[in-house]
Structure 1
Amino acid sequence: MAKNIDLKEINLNSLPQKGKPVQLSIAGGIVVIILVLAYFFLYSGLNQQLTQLKQQEEELKQTYADKSKQAANLDKLQAELNQINGSFNLLLKQLPTQAEIPNLIQELHESATKNGLNMDSISPVAAENTSSSSNTKADSDEQQVIQTLPYQITLKGNYNQISQFVRDVGKLSRIVTLNSIVLKRNDKDNSLTLNAVANTYKALSNSEIAAQIKDKKDKKDKK
């Protein structure tokens, strides 16, 4: 049996003079050390690469799952979009044209008269005072396709007459909304005075939309 070998006592110059067992033991030890070091460095790098690949695999799986859900809901979303577009087009048809605005004002007069109300006044309000859009920068950048046409109205009558008038306005052939409603009681005869803004809405024509876009572009160019 070969004796234990102390590597510190080995003289490489005298190694050829040693016996075969010693030479084989030293060579084997060196090979083992090289293999251990090579395995350590190689495995460390491969392990890190494997961890990254596993992370990428999980990310790809999540991306695939998200895309699959979107693809599965595509037909449903398209159907909802078609329904929204249909509803929007239906609402557009309920908006008065420019030529119908005088008739709409006449309908408001008729609704008031039918309910025994006195229409003291009806007058257009400056657009900048009752703009339907916000003054934020985000909203100002949006393209407006519907214009608000506000009218200040003043009526006098009793509570039941005014209530019926409001219901009749909601049944008009074209969309009209009542906003900024203020009711005041008249002490002399206990009647009520209604001050409100009657808003109707008009779909902008293609030429009006084009002019709006050009106006916004010109304002941006001036800044």
Structure 2
Amino acid sequence: MAAKKLKDIDVQNLYLLSTPAKLVLAALAVLAILVIGYFALFKGQLETLAEHEETEVKLKEAYTKKSIEAASLNNLQAELMSIRSAFNVLLKQLPTDAEIPTLIQELHQAGSTNGLRLDSVLPQPSVPDGPIEKLPYEIAITGKYNQISQFTRDVGGLSRIITLESLKITQSTEDKNSKDGKDGLLTLNATATTYKARPAEEVAAEQKAAEEANQNGNSGKPQE
């Protein structure tokens, strides 16, 4: 009903309206001005503020992600340093060229200490393996089972790293030729391998040659 009355108001006769009606019209006019002012002045600023808030959220997410990556990088660097330190410790346990004869002497001593006879120590061709070089020796020792068992344990405690591979235990020829064959003599044939560090420049040159060969191989492939 009130809306119908407002619709029927003649603009030219506004001065004839009652005071309450004039106050209502004035309030509506002020409200309309405020709404128009809001859209004219504040809407753009609020939209800009919303965009800035969205950008701030994205920046915080990016910062959090970078912080996690930085922490992971620090952990990886610490782990790498630990690996390098452990590798350097292992390198110090590898014999130098001058220590190889001493190492062979230690093998002889480990055998004689356990009452074994070292029948042969035959050097084999060295085998490059990354930053290290394998130095294998074919060895043959003769003795009783418990002596051979103790010998293999003693080899693990030598001053330099030596590994025993391709172990083969057979009845010794002497035991076979004895009258009763009950001497219990066995012969251990094995590959005793020690290691030494290769020169850094040699390893670097080898890696460079491998990279160049890989690049040349890729460049020669037909493009799909």
Say yes or no: TM over 0.5.
yes
Aligned-partner Cα distance in 1 for 2:159–2:94:
9
For the pair 1:4 / 2:2, whether they are aligned, the reply is yes
Partner of 1:220: 214
Partner of 2:158: 172
Question: Alpha-carbon deviation of 1:202?
Answer: 0.4
Q: Secondary structure at the match of 2:146?
A: helix
- Counterpart residue type for residue 111 of structure 1: A
Aligned-partner Cα distance in 1 for 2:38–2:4:
20
Question: Alpha-carbon deviation of 1:19?
Answer: 1.3
Question: Alpha-carbon deviation of 1:154?
Answer: 3.0
Aligned-partner Cα distance in 1 for 2:199–2:54:
60
For the pair 1:206 / 2:195, whether they are aligned, the reply is no
Aligned with 1:153 (options 128, 139, 147): 139
Aligned-partner Cα distance in 1 for 2:109–2:202:
31
Partner of 1:140: none
- Counterpart residue type for residue 213 of structure 1: Q
Q: Secondary structure at the match of 1:24?
A: helix
Stretches of structure 2 lacking an aligned partner (at least 5 in a row): 16-21, 218-224
TM-score where L is the length of structure 1: 0.60
Aligned-partner Cα distance in 1 for 2:4–2:122:
112
Q: Which has the larger radius of gyration?
A: 2
Question: Alpha-carbon deviation of 1:57?
Answer: 3.6
Note closer, same or farther for the CA distance 1:61–1:210 as it changes in structure 2 (3 Å cut).
closer
- Counterpart residue type for residue 153 of structure 2: R
Alpha-carbon RMSD: 4.5
Question: Alpha-carbon deviation of 1:43?
Answer: 4.8
CA distances 1:57-92 after superposition (whole Å, capped 9, x unpaired): 466467668868999x9xxx59x958973x654543
Partner of 1:30: 32
Partner of 1:109: 108
For the pair 1:92 / 2:88, whether they are aligned, the reply is no
Paired residues in the alignment total 199
Aligned-partner Cα distance in 1 for 2:84–2:205:
27
For the pair 1:193 / 2:179, whether they are aligned, the reply is no
Q: Which moved more, 1:26-35 or 1:107-116?
A: 26-35
- Counterpart residue type for residue 135 of structure 2: L
Aligned with 1:19 (options 14, 17, 21): 14
Aligned-partner Cα distance in 2 for 1:92–1:192:
35
Stretches of structure 1 lacking an aligned partner (at least 5 in a row): 133-143
Partner of 1:50: 53
Question: Alpha-carbon deviation of 1:96?
Answer: 1.4
Question: Alpha-carbon deviation of 1:200?
Answer: 0.9
TM-score where L is the length of structure 2: 0.60
Aligned-partner Cα distance in 1 for 2:93–2:107:
16
CA distances 1:38-72 after superposition (whole Å, capped 9, x unpaired): 7678656644643552454466467668868999x
Identity %: 36
Note closer, same or farther for the CA distance 1:220–1:156 as it changes in structure 2 (3 Å cut).
same
